[in-house]
């Protein structure tokens, strides 16, 4: 089992990455069961991977548990050095990792490179942060006592990642866990396991002791997920994906009161007020809406534009959208790749036809593009009503619905009227408005006069049904640490 000839030919180091199928280093699935990975732009078969199940997951969990004590006992500096070596290997192999990522996921190569750099930045950040785990001493209320708080790693972590950022999500989960002294069993999405496999091959070269990082390839995520949630050796689940699956994992973890970090779905509002810089707002909306073909959890899903600037914004924005070239991510000037699969195509088509039936008007796009890949034309819709599916559901595709509004307070209420609370954006210049709106939006992250805010230095995460916990920044490390209170008496 290996990568396809075509993909190997694109790589600088085909010999290194040809071993992706063996990256888990676990007993292969019984009966030699495999699953296929395809390029969504061309339909080309990229790889056949061993299809692992509950038995392999149990082996991986046992290995992670066996390695945990030694890994946690290492000094922070030793853990930091290993993470640092992994970071450097990822930087060195950025081009190959990006090629693998584009092949399996479809995003333009430049975006894939930027994602790999972002993944490397998390490893660097947590290599540094590993050295900054602090406890505290507390002034005791009685003379014969001393009170201290220490921080310890939670233990074995089960991590499950989605297909839309298959490299950076792996780094964002694993690096704080490892920095804290946890060991990890990770299952990437079925559609995009290859770049995770490539990163694990580099982790091996970086010198992590055996069992510290473990990879499960699986086509049946539910069986592996259930094992991770219900196996008592796993002390924490870290999941990024849909709210629906997040709820299910939460239920499965409840019997053991297992700790959870959940990065779930969003329905981001993007609000342009009358006093905004319209050209800057158009730039920001293009980034927030069309990066990764709109397949990001922080994608602008509803564009609210105040009446005074609505027509100008809609015209300028539509002109820009028309220039976005759609195609194979390996073609030089492509801005938008394919959607991940035909389900994604059906969802966006359903949102467009529902909107048009209820009176929405298409300014550009609104249809699937010819060819074998899962391409959809970048689309702008106006005349959007609150009853339409696009006003309520996450589209996860290159569709921008523009909703006209008049009242500034009402638009914030409407933006908050959702079960989600991940990211929100707004453009305005009046300082008093900027503060009021920023504070009133019920979201974990708010972009003010910017369409892009993700960074390893910032706490990424949502409120309401967009999840719990934070990834990135010093707060991301805390999510993998337990607090232990030591009370010494008889002094
Ligand atoms: P998904 O269907 O929830 O899948 C995510 C991961 O969960 C995949 O690895 C998948 O494996 C696995 N999975 C699916 N069903 C499972 C089950 N019953 N038990 C255990 N694991 C299971 O989500 P998606 O469609 O890949 O990703 C898109 C969603 O993720 C969107 O809602 C987006 O907003 C959200 N997202 C959130 C963030 C964030 O940081 N908040 C970031 C990125 C994406 P298989 O591939 O094998 O099904």
Which ligand 1 atom is the nearest neighbour of the CA of 266?
Answer: 34
Pocket of ligand 1 from Cβ distances under 6 Å: 160-165, 187, 189-190, 221-222, 225, 240-242, 245, 248, 263-266, 297, 394, 396, 422, 462, 467
For residues 266 and 164, what is the distance between their CA atoms, to the nearest angstrom?
A: 14
Task: Give the number of other CB atoms < 10 A from CB of residue 138.
Answer: 12
Give every CB contact of residue 322 below 8 A, 6+ residues apart in sequence.
364, 378
- In angstroms, the Cα distances linking 417 to 245, 397, 469 are 22, 21, 22
| Locus of tokens 């933006």 | 415
pLDDT of residue 30: 66
SS3 percent helix, strand, coil of the chain, rounded to 5, is: 45, 20, 35
What average pLDDT score do residues 288-300 get? 97
CA angle 433, 437, 438 (to 5 degrees): 115
Spacing, Cα 187 to ligand 1 middle (Å): 11
Residue-level pLDDT at 29: 72
**Strand, helix or coil at 318?**
helix
> How far apart (Å, rounded) are the C-alpha atoms in residues 40 and 341?
7
* Percent of the chain at pLDDT exceeding 90: 96
Are 40 and 339 contacting, i.e. CB atoms less than 8 angstroms apart? yes
Question: Average of pLDDT values for 306-332?
Answer: 97
Q: What are phi and psi of 474, to 5 degrees?
A: -70, -25
CB atoms near residue 488 (< 10 Å)? 11
Task: Indicate the DSSP class of residue 398.
Answer: S
Mean pLDDT of 454-481: 98
pLDDT band with cut points at 50, 70 and 90 for residue 2:
confident
Tokens for 61, please give them. 């969990």
- Between the alpha carbon of residue 205 and those of residues 88, 128, 372, the distances in Å are 11, 20, 38
**Which atom of ligand 1 is the closest one to the Cα of 471?**
40
Q: Which residue has the tokens 């966006």?
A: 348
Catalytic residue among 182, 229, 253, 297: 297
Tally the residues of the chain.
Answer: 491
| Tokens read off for 166 | 């298959």
pLDDT, tens only, 146-160: 999 999 999 999 999
Question: Which residues have C-beta within 8 Å of that of residue 153, sequence separation ≥ 6?
Answer: 68, 72, 180, 181, 182, 480, 481, 482
To the query of whether residue 297 is one of the catalytic residues in this protein, the response is: yes
Confidence of residue 31 (pLDDT cuts 50, 70, 90): confident
For residue 343, report the distance from its CA to the centre of ligand 1, in Å: 14
Q: Are 423 and 268 in contact (CB under 8 A)?
A: yes
Integer Cα distance of 245 and 297 in angstroms: 14
Instruction: Look at strands 156-160 and 183-187 and give their pairing.
Output: parallel
253 catalytically annotated:
no
Residue 378 has pLDDT above 90, yes or no: yes
Average pLDDT over the chain, rounded to an integer: 97
The verdict on pTM exceeding 0.75 is yes
* Active-site residue identified among 56, 227, 263, 414: 263
Cα gap 335→386, rounded to integer Å: 30
For residue 466, which atom of ligand 1 is closest to its CA?
A: 41
Q: Taking residues 177-205, what's their average pLDDT?
A: 98
CA dist 258 and 153 (Å) reads 14
| Residue from 415, 417, 323, 331 nearest 373 by CA | 331
The pLDDT value recorded for residue 311 is 98
**Mutation probe of ligand 1 site: the residue of 122, 188, 241 with most atoms within 8 A of C-beta:** 241
Radius of gyration of the chain (CA): 23
pLDDT at 1 over 60: no
Residue 386: closest CA among 291, 269, 296: 269
User: For 93-220, where are the alpha helices, taking DSSP H only?
Assistant: 94-105, 109-129, 168-180, 194-206
CA of 477 to the centre of ligand 1 (A): 22
* Residue whose CB lies within 8 A of the most ligand 1 atoms, among 217, 242, 445, for a mutation test: 242
- What confidence score (pLDDT) does residue 308 get? 98
- CA atoms of 202 and 235, how far apart (whole Å): 26
- Evaluate if residue 67 carries a pLDDT over 60: yes
Backbone angles phi, psi at 275, to 5 degrees: -90, 15
Strands, DSSP E only, in 12-52?
A: 34-38, 45-50
How close is the Cα of 48 to the center of ligand 1, in Å?
21
Which of 239-248, 385-394, 405-414 is least confident?
385-394
State the Cα–Cα distance between residues 109 and 41, nearest whole angstrom: 12
The per-residue b/e assignment along 29-56, b for 16 or more CB within 10 angstroms, e otherwise, is beeeebbebbbbbbeeebbebbbbbeeb
* Residue 108 three-state SS: coil
Interval 406-462: pLDDT, tens: 999 999 999 999 999 999 999 999 999 999 999 999 999 999 999 999 999 999 999
Residue 141 CB coordination number (10 Å): 7
β-strand pairing of 399-405 with 183-187: unpaired
Q: Residue 26 pLDDT more than 90?
A: no
Domains belonging to the chain, first-starting first, are 5-265+466-486 (3.40.605.10), 268-417+423-459 (3.40.309.10)
Q: How far apart are the first and last CA of the chain?
A: 65
């Amino acid at each position: 089992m290996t990568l396809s000839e075509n993909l190997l030919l694109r790589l600088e180091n085909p010999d290194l990455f040809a071993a992706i199928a063996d990256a888990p280093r676990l007993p292969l699935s019984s009966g030699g069961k495999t699953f296929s990975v395809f390029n969504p732009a061309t339909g080309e078969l990229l790889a056949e991977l061993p299809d692992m199940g509950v038995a392999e997951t149990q082996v991986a969990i046992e290995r992670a548990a066996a390695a945990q004590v030694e890994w946690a006992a290492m000094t922070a500096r030793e853990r930091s050095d290993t993470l640092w070596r992994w970071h450097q290997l990822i930087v060195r192999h950025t081009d190959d990792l990006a090629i693998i990522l584009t092949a399996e996921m479809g995003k333009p190569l430049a975006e894939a490179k930027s994602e790999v750099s972002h993944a490397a930045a998390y490893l660097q950040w947590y290599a540094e942060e590993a050295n900054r785990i602090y406890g505290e001493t507390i002034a005791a209320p009685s003379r014969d006592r001393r009170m201290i708080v220490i921080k310890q790693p939670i233990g074995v972590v089960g991590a499950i990642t989605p297909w839309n950022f298959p490299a950076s999500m792996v780094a964002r989960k694993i690096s704080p866990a490892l920095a804290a002294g946890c060991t990890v069993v990770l299952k990437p999405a079925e559609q995009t396991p290859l770049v995770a496999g490539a990163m694990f091959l580099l982790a091996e070269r970086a010198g992590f002791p055996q069992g510290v990082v473990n990879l499960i390839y699986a086509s049946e995520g539910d069986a592996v997920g259930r094992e991770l949630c219900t196996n008592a050796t796993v002390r924490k689940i870290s999941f990024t994906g849909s709210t629906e699956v997040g709820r299910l994992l939460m239920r499965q973890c409840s019997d053991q009161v297992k700790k959870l970090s959940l990065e779930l779905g969003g329905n981001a509002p993007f609000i342009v007020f009358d006093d905004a810089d319209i050209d800057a707002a158009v730039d920001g909306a293009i980034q927030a809406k069309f990066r990764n073909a709109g397949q990001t959890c922080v994608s602008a899903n509803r564009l609210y534009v105040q009446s005074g600037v609505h027509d100008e914004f809609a015209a300028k924005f539509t002109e820009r959208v028309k220039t976005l070239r759609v195609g194979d991510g390996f073609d030089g000037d492509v801005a938008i790749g394919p959607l991940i699969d035909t389900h994604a195509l059906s969802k966006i088509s359903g949102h467009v036809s529902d909107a048009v039936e209820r009176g929405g008007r298409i300014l550009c796009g609104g249809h699937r593009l010819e060819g074998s890949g899962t391409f959809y034309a970048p689309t702008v819709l106006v005349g959007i009503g609150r009853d339409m599916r696009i006003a309520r559901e996450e589209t996860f595709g290159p569709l921008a619905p523009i909703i006209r509004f008049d009242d500034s307070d009402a638009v914030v209420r409407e933006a908050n009227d959702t079960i989600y609370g991940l990211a929100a954006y707004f453009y305005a210049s009046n300082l008093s408005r900027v503060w009021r709106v920023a504070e009133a939006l019920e979201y974990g992250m708010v972009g003010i006069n910017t369409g892009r805010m993700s960074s390893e230095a910032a706490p990424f995460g949502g409120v309401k049904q967009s999840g719990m916990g934070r990834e990135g920044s010093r707060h991301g490390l805390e999510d993998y640490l337990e607090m232990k209170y030591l009370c010494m008496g008889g002094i």
